[in-house]
Amino acid sequence: MSKASRSLPVMVLGDSLAARVALIEMGDLGYATQWVGDQNAQPAPSRETFPGQRLTALKGQVGSFQAQLDGPAGAQSVQTAALIVATGNERRPALPTDIGPGEHRILTISKLLERIETPRTSGQVMEHVHQRVLLVLDWETKTPRQTAYELLETSQRARERWRCEVYVFYLDLIVDAPGIEALTRDLREAGIVFCRYGAGPDCPTPTLSADMDGVSFAFEEGQVSGDLLAFPDEVAPRTDTAELAQALNIRVGEDGYLQDVNIRHYRLGISSRRGVFLAGRCHADQTDTAAHDDALQAVANVDALLGSGTIARNPVIARVDMEKCVRCLTCERSCPHAAILVEVADQDVLAAHVLELACEGCGTCISNCPVRAISFVDQPIPAWMA
C-alpha cells in the first residue's frame, strides 16, 4: 500500500478537446493538475502550466512519477501522481486531383462550413446560390468517424442555410459512434439524399469530374451533377506518437496510434503502464462526443486509482533475488508494464528491482530470466512458467 495524496498533481498532456475536458473534470474533483501542451494553457486554480514543453521521459511508478520535460523553459523534472495523455491526432486536407479544371468547385468540409457560416458581403444576394452540393465519404480510403460526423453535420448546415439539395455519397458509412445513427436519420428526414456507391463486387469504379459549369459523381446507379463537391479531411496519428510512446514506455499499435489494448485491461483508455491513461484521439478514432466521454472515462480511471488516498499493489507481484541477478537487462527489456529496472536500489546494489505499484504480476520476467533470479512474492511459480 502506498499513500496517494490528492495534493500530488495529475498531469494532462495535450491541447485537444479531451485534454481540456480532463483538466476541468480533474479540477472539479479537487485534484491539482499540470498541463503540458503546445499552446498557452489556460490558468486555473491548482493548475501548473508548462506551455511548449514536451515530455522526454517518465521515471518511477504510479503515485510518484518523475516526468522529465524539455522545451523553451529548458529541462525540468516534475513530480506527478498519474498522467492523462490526450495529445489528439493530426489532420490535413485531402482533395482528389486530376478530376477536371473546375478546382474552385472542390472544397474540404472545413472550407465548405466556413463558406456556409460566413455572411455574404458581395456576390449573389441569395444565399441558396448553390443549388446542389455533393459530399463524398470513403473516397480512396475509409473516412474515420471523426470526419464522417463533421461531414454529416455540415450537410445539415448546408441544407438549413442554403436551402440547397444535398447528396451524400458513401461506401461504408460508420454508424457505431454516439449520435451518428440518429443524425443520419434526421438528415434523411430533412431531405438529404444518401447514395451508396461500389456496393457490389461487379460495380464499376465511380468517377468524379469538375469543370467550369459544375461537378458530377458517376456511379453504378447513374450520374448526379451539382455545383460544389466537398470531401472530409484526412486524419492520422501525430508524427511524434512513437517518440511520446517511448518517453512514456507504452506501446504504439499497428495503426500508429497509442495502444490501450491489454489482455488484462478490458476498459478503454488504460495503457500498459499503471497510472498512464489515454483519452481522445491519440488512441482512437472518435467523434467530438465520444472524445468528451472518453476524457470523462480517463478522469474516472484516475480517480478510481488515487481517490481513496492509497494505492494498493497488485496481490501478485514479482521479486528479484539480487544475489542471483547477473544484470543482463532481459527483464527490464521484456516487462510489458515498465515495472522492473536494473538500477542501484536496495542496499546500494546494482541489480534488477521491481517497482511494486507498477507490477501487474504477469510473470513475463520470471519466464525470461536466464538465471531464475525472479519469483512471485508469497506465491509459487506455476509449473508452466518455471
Residues that bind ligand SF4 (CB under 6 A): 317-318, 320, 325-331, 335, 337, 339-340, 342, 352, 354, 359-365, 369, 371, 373-374
Compare residues 26 and 342 and give the one whose CB is closer to ligand SF4: 342
Q: Are 275 and 249 in contact (CB under 8 A)?
A: no
Q: Are 303 and 325 in contact (CB under 8 A)?
A: no
Compare residues 236 and 328 and give the one whose CB is closer to ligand SF4: 328
Compare residues 12 and 320 and give the one whose CB is closer to ligand SF4: 320
Q: Are 234 and 92 in contact (CB under 8 A)?
A: yes
Compare residues 243 and 321 and give the one whose CB is closer to ligand SF4: 321
CA–CA separation, 74 and 35 (whole Å): 16
Q: What are phi and psi of 24, to 5 degrees?
A: -65, -45
Q: Are 289 and 178 in contact (CB under 8 A)?
A: yes
Compare residues 116 and 366 and give the one whose CB is closer to ligand SF4: 366
Compare residues 21 and 358 and give the one whose CB is closer to ligand SF4: 358
Q: Are 95 and 108 in contact (CB under 8 A)?
A: yes
CA–CA separation, 349 and 325 (whole Å): 10
In 3D, which of 247, 249, 244 has the Cα closest to residue 339? Answer: 249
Contacts of 224 (CB under 8 A, 6+ apart): 132, 134, 167, 169, 195, 216, 217, 218
Smallest separation, CB 367 to ligand SF4 (Å): 9
Compare residues 224 and 345 and give the one whose CB is closer to ligand SF4: 345
In 3D, which of 375, 379, 105 has the Cα closest to residue 231? Answer: 105
Compare residues 260 and 360 and give the one whose CB is closer to ligand SF4: 360
Smallest separation, CB 264 to ligand SF4 (Å): 10
Smallest separation, CB 282 to ligand SF4 (Å): 23
Smallest separation, CB 162 to ligand SF4 (Å): 58
Contacts of 12 (CB under 8 A, 6+ apart): 19, 22, 23, 26, 33, 34, 35, 36, 83, 84, 86
Smallest separation, CB 84 to ligand SF4 (Å): 22
Compare residues 99 and 352 and give the one whose CB is closer to ligand SF4: 352
Smallest separation, CB 11 to ligand SF4 (Å): 22
Smallest separation, CB 319 to ligand SF4 (Å): 9
Smallest separation, CB 334 to ligand SF4 (Å): 7
Smallest separation, CB 369 to ligand SF4 (Å): 3
**Distances from the Cα of 41 to the Cα of 91, 297, 332, angstroms:** 21, 22, 36
Encode 16-55: b = buried (16+ Cβ within 10 Å), e = exposed: bbbbbbbbbbbbeeebbbbbbbeeebeeeeebbbbeebbb
CA–CA separation, 151 and 94 (whole Å): 13
Compare residues 189 and 346 and give the one whose CB is closer to ligand SF4: 346
Smallest separation, CB 315 to ligand SF4 (Å): 12
CA–CA separation, 1 and 313 (whole Å): 6
Q: Which three cell numbers stand for residue 291?
A: 472524445
